Amino acid sequence: MIVLAGPSGSGKSRLAERLGRSRGWPTLRLDDFYRDGDEPDLPRIADGANAGLVDWDHPGSWHCDDAVAAIRALCEQGRTEVPEYSIAQSRRTGTQSLDLGGARVFCAEGIFADEVVERCRAEGLLEAAYCITQHPLVTFVRRLTRDLRERRKPPLVLVRRGWALLRAQRRVVRRAVQVGCRVATGDRAHAELTGRAGGGSSHVLAG
């Protein structure tokens, strides 16, 4: 498994799609393991303009154990059932089968992807882990544009959340580095993973 962690809007999904086209690597969307919004013990934002709302950027809003179980099944069996999640509705809407189709490598991407790194490394499931990042203002604009287009939440909530995430981006990157993620732009990570970076890379994999 290749982990693609990093701030929301940094380009993780875009990179996973590029690797799917160029290398044939399937993608496990870790954001589909969010908890339903009506669960009573979800973490809440404590202060600021969004105080009282569910804190969807807190790892407690996410099913880490379920995500690791899906990763383990993909590595051992090549297929698994994964949830379908609607961010706009804040709930699971169904399930779908993810089959690697014989691929030796797959990507796992999401804002909580760094949460699985240490566990998967200990189980021998991890090939490489990246924290995808770019300038915070670029991330802010791309994230807000995406979230408004997909109507993920009310516009005012998205703007306020986006501003809070911009200020928290360094902390998110620092956390990913602490568990062993390599910091890179999407272009740099793609070059390394496909063997196009100058001098080669220890993470270059066979097709």
pLDDT computed for residue 113 by the predictor: 97
Q: DSSP labels for 26-69?
A: -EEEGGGGBPPTT-TT--B--SSTTTTSB-TTSGGGB-HHHHHH
Considering the domain boundaries, does residue 200 fall inside one? no
What's the pLDDT tens digit per position in 15-26?
999 999 999 999
pTM (two decimals): 0.82
Residue 202 falls inside a structural domain: no
Count of structural domains within the chain: 1
Residues of the chain with pLDDT under 50: 198-204, 206-207
Q: Specify if 207 maps to a domain.
A: no
List own/partner pairs for 199-204 with CB under 8 A and 24 or more apart: 203/2, 203/127, 203/128
Which domain CATH number covers 44?
3.40.50.300
Range of the domain at 182: 2-193
β-pair partners for 27: 107
The answer to whether residue 145 sits within a structural domain is yes
Q: Report if residue 204 sits inside a domain.
A: no
* 141 in a structural domain: yes
Tens digit of each residue's pLDDT (9 = 90 or more) over 8-48: 888 899 999 999 999 999 999 999 999 999 999 999 988 87
pLDDT at 88: 84
